[in-house]
Amino acid sequence: MNDTIDRWQAADGTWLDMRQMRPDDEARVKQALNMLSANARRNRFFGSIAEFSDDAVHRLVAIDPHKEYLLVVVRCEDGVEVPIAGGRFVEHDEQAECSFSLLIGDAWQGQGIGRRLLKALLREASLRGLRTMRGDVLADNRPMLQLARSLHFALVDGEQGDGVVQLVRELPGAASTRWRSVVRKVLRK
Ligand SMILES: CC(C)(COP(=O)(O)OP(=O)(O)OC[C@H]1O[C@@H](n2cnc3c(N)ncnc32)[C@H](O)[C@@H]1OP(=O)(O)O)[C@@H](O)C(=O)NCCC(=O)NCCS
């Protein structure tokens, strides 16, 4: 089954695939999470996590597809897909809103992977008819704030004392997102 959403070459020539997370990714996701720097853990989970247990990884990977969307970026190593980045959104009940998060492996940051993931999340959220995307970010997380600003997120409030700020972006309607997808496909031909 070809479930690739995006495929491109990283700066060092490695081919990367973006697709939805699958249950059989869990063991390799656990390995990848346990290799993250303290800084990446803090920026994504807002705390220090010493070790990601099987249970913790299962909670991250096993999603309700009706309310959540979870993407993984993998590289292929000796025929094995190794996760190097991920992005998700979780829908909020009856509000047509969702919250996103992103996590790029330390060695892969600053190469446009976060931008691709966030754009894919925005596209899917629009196609699902959601109207607003939010994200909680540490106030000192400059890369995330910069990336969000460049994709037209706004800061809702300043830091509330817990070191976290909230980003928000209105989403285009599903019809206009579909229309843009068609135009993109035609232009690529
Ligand atoms: C924050 C994060 C998601 C950004 O993803 P990324 O793949 O590293 O970022 P990209 O390469 O797509 O960069 C996109 C933009 O972000 C900004 N950016 C990226 N790295 C930056 C850095 N080190 N300093 C300042 N700005 C930076 C730039 O504006 C860049 O745009 P440019 O390509 O025009 O320069 C990633 O670094 C990460 O996962 N960090 C750890 C976890 C985290 O912070 N998650 C966010 C909270 S949910």
pLDDT, tens only, 78-101: 889 999 999 999 999 888 999 999
The pLDDT of residue 185? 72
4-188 CATH choice from 3.40.630.30, 3.40.50.720, 3.40.50.410, 3.90.550.10: 3.40.630.30
Q: What is the pLDDT of residues 107-125, one digit of tens each?
A: 999 999 999 999 999 999 9
Q: Measured between alpha carbons, how far is 63 from 26 in angstroms, rounded to an integer?
A: 12
Identify the sign of the CA torsion 24, 36, 45, 92: negative
CA of 110 to the centre of ligand 1 (A): 5
Q: What is the pLDDT of residues 126-150, one digit of tens each?
A: 999 999 999 999 999 999 999 999 9
The pLDDT of residue 144? 98
Burial tier of 40 (Cβ tally within 10 Å: 0-12, 13-18, 19+): middle
CA of 144 to the centre of ligand 1 (A): 5
Q: Measured between alpha carbons, how far is 145 from 121 in angstroms, rounded to an integer?
A: 17
DSSP code of residue 128: T
Atom of ligand 1 nearest to the CA of 135: 48
Which helix or strand (DSSP H or E) is residue 88 part of? strand 80-92
Which residue's CA lies nearest to atom 15 of ligand 1?
Answer: 147
Q: Report residues whose beta carbon is within 6 angstroms of any ligand 1 atom.
A: 40, 43-44, 101-104, 109-115, 135, 137, 141-144, 146-147, 150
The pLDDT of residue 189? 65
Atom of ligand 1 nearest to the CA of 36: 41
Q: Which two tokens stand for residue 155?
A: 């800061």
